[in-house]
Chains A and B, each alone.
Chain A
Amino acid sequence: MRLVVCLFAMLIAGTAADAQGWQEYAYPSYSFGVSFPAEPKVETTTYAAPDGRTAEAHVYSVTQDDAAFKMTVVELPGMEENAVIGHAVKTLAQGAEIKLDIPARVARVYGRQLSIVGADGARSSDAIFYHLGRLYQIEGKAISGNEAPSYAIRFQQSLIFTGGETNRPDIVREGRRNCRAAADPNAAGAAATEGEKTAQVDERCRRRGEAASRDQRNRGNNP
């Protein structure tokens, strides 16, 4: 396994961020990036898949006195998304109480986001995605103290997916169709008479198109 770790924080360095040590770490080989408060420990381990198989898992983690920050990526190709997500939720929530379980989206990747309180009172902020044949699970766990829960949230919210792929191509296609229709003065109807509104829609669609093209270029595909 070849792991390429890039530090983007040098580009966005700031005194406050430096003081806390939060930096963004990118793992393009696994199509994600995430922020940690310190250099993460990287391990390869195993994961009990929903079908009983043992799968390879890559774990990136930082454990501090009052909080634990963990990103897990599991190779689970060819599985059904609901089974993967459901199994992950069940595993995370064992002996704990789920306070919040809602749909989540990061870029064009859709999954679930949870807030869980363990039997020991420890609160965790979690998100789970099945994308590119992998389970992506991010967990920010507050172990003690009244500051840790906030950093757990801050960690969980830092996940990004790189590469521009989606696990909901139907939704993305529909969005593009709607955007083009809304931006087309001939198709927009009433909106075409509202100059400012139309300009805003046009601008939004232009940016979306640029982003899509950029994603295509980054993947080395033809637009």
Chain B
Amino acid sequence: MKLTAMVLASATVAATAPALAHHSFAMFDGEKKVTLEGTVKDFQWTNPHSWIMLTVLDDAGQPQLWAIEMGGPGGLARQGWALTTLTPGMKVKTVIHPLRDGANGGQFMAITLPDGTLMGNPNGRANANAGAAP
């Protein structure tokens, strides 16, 4: 699966993190969005944040692991997520705010599951889906 990294200069306002979020989100570039297509390696349903570890092929066809940070299990469950929403081997497309330092990671915004189900909001506020406390 090819990496489709579409860096979009977003005019949307990057909202500040909510007062009770576990941590600040300055490490993510809320002005940019990257779309990744890849295969779920792990879905870590853990506190204080859940993580999608996603294997994505780079332009040279080499697998690269991306760490995608989400909210905690409690908040995600209220948004319709479950432990089994993502399983290893699942092919997905996800939208993230990338890390500012260029490493393979980002803040979760939305994901499209194999059956076409969209979870999250690719055009939501920067902190809408990842890390916001309940």
**Residues in A lying within 8 Å of B, measured CB to CB:** 8-9, 12, 14-17, 19-20, 22-24, 35, 99-100, 102-107, 113, 115, 123, 125, 146-147, 149-151, 153-154, 157-160, 175, 179, 204, 207-208, 211
Closest 3 CB pairs of A and B: A150-B67, A14-B45, A115-B101
B83 contacts A by Cβ under 8 Å: yes
Q: How far is B23's CA from A35's CA once the two chains are assembled, in angstroms? A: 15
Q: How far is B88's CA from A123's CA once the two chains are assembled, in angstroms? A: 26
List residues of chain B with CB within 8 A of the CB of A14. Answer: 43-46, 83
Q: Are B46 and A208 in contact (CB under 8 A)?
A: no
List residues of chain A with CB within 8 A of the CB of B45. Answer: 12, 14, 16-17
Residue of A nearest to B51 (CB): A154
**Residues in B lying within 8 Å of A, measured CB to CB:** 17-20, 22-24, 26-27, 42-49, 51, 53, 62-67, 69, 73, 83, 86-88, 99-105, 133-134
Q: Are B44 and A146 in contact (CB under 8 A)?
A: no
One of B42, B48, B66, B133 near A16 (C-beta < 8 A): B42
List residues of chain A with CB within 8 A of the CB of B67. Answer: 150-151, 153-154
Q: Are B23 and A146 in contact (CB under 8 A)?
A: no
Distance between B110 CB and nearest chain A CB, rounded to angstroms = 20
List residues of chain B with CB within 8 A of the CB of A107. Answer: 22-23
Q: How far is B5's CA from A11's CA once the two chains are assembled, in angstroms? A: 36
Q: Are A105 and B23 in contact (CB under 8 A)?
A: yes
- Given A15-B83, A150-B65, A106 and B46 contact (CB-CB distance below 8 Å): no
Q: Are A100 and B22 in contact (CB under 8 A)?
A: no
Q: Are A146 and B101 in contact (CB under 8 A)?
A: no
Q: Are A146 and B62 in contact (CB under 8 A)?
A: yes
Q: Are B44 and A16 in contact (CB under 8 A)?
A: yes
Residue of B nearest to A127 (CB): B23
Q: How far is B87's CA from A16's CA once the two chains are assembled, in angstroms? A: 8
Q: How far is B133's CA from A207's CA once the two chains are assembled, in angstroms? A: 10
List residues of chain A with CB within 8 A of the CB of B73. Answer: 12
One of B17, B46, B47, B65 near A147 (C-beta < 8 A): B65
Q: Are A113 and B83 in contact (CB under 8 A)?
A: no
Q: Are A113 and B27 in contact (CB under 8 A)?
A: yes
List residues of chain B with CB within 8 A of the CB of A211. Answer: 20
Q: How far is B102's CA from A20's CA once the two chains are assembled, in angstroms? A: 25
- Given A12-B73, A15-B83, A19-B42, A150 and B23 contact (CB-CB distance below 8 Å): no
List residues of chain B with CB within 8 A of the CB of A149. Answer: 65, 103-105
Since A20-B44, A113-B27, A160-B22 are in contact, a sample of 18 more A-B pairs with Cβ atoms closer than 8 Å, ordered by chain A residue number, is A8-B47, A19-B88, A20-B42, A104-B23, A104-B24, A115-B99, A123-B103, A149-B103, A149-B105, A150-B66, A150-B103, A150-B105, A151-B65, A151-B67, A153-B103, A154-B67, A158-B49, A208-B19
